[in-house]
Amino acid sequence: MTLWLLDLESVESRYTSQWKTHLPNLLKNFNVKVIEGAEDIPPATTPGAFLNFGGTNIYKSTQIEKIARAFTNGEVKSGDHILFTDAWHPGIINIKYMSELLGIKVITHGLWHAGSYDKADFLGRLIGNSPWVRNAEQSMFHCFDHNYFASVFHIDMFCDELLKADASEYNAYLESKKIVRTGWPMEYMKETLESFKGTAKRDLILFPHRIAPEKQPDIFDDLEQSLPEYEFVMCQEHQLRKPEYHKMLAEAKIVFSANLQETLGISAYEGAIVDTFPLVPDRLSYTEMYPDEFKYPSEWTENWDNYLANKDKLIERIRSIMKQNTSAQLQLEKLTNSLTDDFFSSTEMIKTIKSYEE
């Protein structure tokens, strides 16, 4: 069997650049054939977004041309697997069309990152529950034999908002592995960042998220005005290359989040690896991923008015963390190991693919 891997376009500031090499290496025990898209797409992301809204469609459409030719030439065989590293890919419908009509029964896999079902995501904010997008996402879901999610929070939101699944349908999806909760394929991350451990700390607080409404950068800006004794840096404003970002992350004492959208939360994990304290709200995927000592009450930053009402409590919490000594490193080491095992290694995805060989 061949595993056809439809990858994501590489964006240097995002993890997709690492996935270019890591995913084929991770899947090296299979006969992997990578289907890349066009190279001449805009290198920059759409402001505030994860990718370029035009460029990603150029990339994905050229991927489908390539895999369609592989179907037509007889290279794709029944029993092959096709893995989409972004499940929000219209090409899955083309794959299903060819598979069914040509009698080439392939097994399809897709990793879900976001969609219109998330009210805080770009699709949710700008398009919402328009029938075309909701029906498209439902179709994509049903085209995939296996749909992968990085957190239970994401699965619950997907089933509640998009599928409107009741308890029996929800359980059936899990039991059949139509829905699989797996860590994301980021096994490389701990090793990459380990070399930055031990970097001298300074009184630095980082905002490592996209500058977008769902990340509430205004709260971070206001905290900066209220805590002049500390240095505040919004990373995306500085267009840092990965090594520069990792060095700054290791120098910081806190990675701060007031996010209203987070189905995984990579930067908080990155901070923990280099002994930088992740301070996150008790909501979204953070609730299942982080022990209480790393969370503050969700209502403190649920909106601007709540933030103002609870600002003094948040400032007190930040000052307390900034004064912590190295004993906090033991907490962070335990947290890092837990997150690595459960959320940043793709064991369940690999296990699902391997199950077809048994």
Report how far residue 104's alpha carbon sits from residue 320's, in angstroms, rounded to the nearest whole number: 61
Residue 150 pLDDT > 90: yes
Q: Kindly list the structural domains of the chain, giving each domain's residue range(s) and its CATH number in brackets, ordered by start.
A: 2-187+344-357 (3.40.50.2000), 188-342 (3.40.50.2000)
- Residue-averaged pLDDT of the chain: 93
User: In this predicted model, what pLDDT tens digit does every residue of 128-149 receive, in sequence order?
Assistant: 999 999 999 999 999 999 999 9
Confidence bin at 24 (pLDDT 50/70/90): very high
The mean pLDDT value for 49-76 works out to 90
Separation of CA 323 from chain center: 31
Confidence bin at 45 (pLDDT 50/70/90): low
User: In this predicted model, what pLDDT tens digit does every residue of 263-314 receive, in sequence order?
Assistant: 999 999 999 999 999 999 999 999 999 999 999 999 999 999 999 999 999 9
Rounded to two decimals, what is the model's pTM?
0.92
Cα distances (Å, whole numbers) of residue 341 to 133, 162, 183, 330, 345: 34, 29, 8, 17, 6
Enumerate residues 6+ apart whose C-beta is below 8 A from 311: 222, 226
**3-state helix vs strand vs coil in the chain, percent to 5:** 50, 10, 40
